[in-house]
A and B are shown apart, each in its own frame.
Chain A
């Protein structure tokens, strides 16, 4: 069945470091891909998304490109800030109308000053 695999954390970085969080997926059809972020004590919020191959989603300095050939959707940011400390979830839409997202297990990012 469809699935999402993302790198395990925690990821610990210094401020202004480069961030990559790997995400690969297995899916039938043509899912949309999402990155959600969960700040401490809060629910999930959409960070960015891409709905077809070669699309690049971007928001708040984060980017991810939908790579169908490598079934990947890696999250990157050129210079992280302390405020980026959160849990990041990669997700894909199931290939059936009316159904939910499939999430990876989440990657905790901790940024120190």
Chain B
């Protein structure tokens, strides 16, 4: 079974802190994604990566950056956390055929910024 793991289930940070969210997948997938999930808004794409060291902005990249130094690991970075970044963050991965392949999701990290 594909497994996508995220470093924390719950995280509480203060405004202005630098925050790292880590995601690891064990299926040698090329493509990895970070979404945020908010009530009434569904899932929105923050960033994605289609290869090591490659990244593309999604729909809401402002305030975030990402890093993909190894194929299995995709990190989301909040350079200076703000209260409006309080949300559920979901990581996903998929194989080469992104039009047809299933995206596999991690359990999510619920981030609270105080």
Secondary structure at chain B's binding surface: helix, strand, loop or mixed? strand
Given contacts A97-B98, A98-B98, A105-B40, contact A43 B45 (CB under 8 A): no
Instruction: Quote the shortest CB–CB distance from B110 to chain A (angstroms).
Output: 9
Asked if A98 meets B56 with Cβ closer than 8 Å, knowing A32-B100, A105-B41, the reply is yes
A42 to B105: give the CA distance in the assembly, Å.
10
Is the CB–CB distance between B107 and A89 below 8 Å? no
Which B residues touch A98, using CB under 8 A?
Answer: 31, 48, 50, 56, 98
Nearest CB to that of A108 among chain B residues? B39
* Complex interface residues of chain B between 28 and 50 (CB less than 8 A to chain A): 31, 33, 35, 40-45, 48, 50
From B110, which residue of chain A is reached at the shortest CB distance? A41
Residues facing A in B96-114 (CB within 8 A) are 98-100, 102-108
The majority secondary structure among interface residues of chain A is loop
Which of B33, B43, B90, B92 neighbours the largest number of chain A CB atoms within 10 Å of its CB?
B43
Minimal beta-carbon separation of B12 from chain A (angstroms): 17
Q: Kindly list chain B residues whose C-beta atoms are within 8 Å of the C-beta of A11.
A: none
A35 CB, min distance to chain B CBs, angstroms:
11
Q: Mark B60-71, 1 if CB is under 8 A from A, else 0.
A: 000000000000
Choose among A36, A46, A93, A106 the residue that contacts B98 (Cβ–Cβ < 8 A). A93
A52-66 vs B, CB cutoff 8 Å, 1 = contact: the mask equals 000000000000000
- Residues on A facing B (Cβ under 8 Å): 31-32, 34, 36, 42-46, 49, 51, 89, 93-95, 97-101, 103-106
- For the complex with contacts A44-B43, A98-B50, 17 further pairs of A-B residues with Cβ separation under 8 Å are A42-B107, A43-B4, A44-B90, A44-B92, A49-B100, A94-B98, A97-B98, A98-B56, A99-B56, A99-B98, A100-B33, A100-B48, A100-B58, A101-B43, A101-B103, A103-B44, A105-B40
What are 24 A-B pairs with beta-carbon distances under 8 A?
A: A32-B99, A34-B102, A43-B4, A43-B107, A44-B92, A45-B105, A46-B103, A46-B104, A49-B102, A51-B100, A89-B42, A93-B99, A94-B98, A95-B99, A98-B31, A99-B48, A100-B35, A100-B48, A100-B58, A100-B98, A100-B103, A105-B41, A105-B42, A106-B42
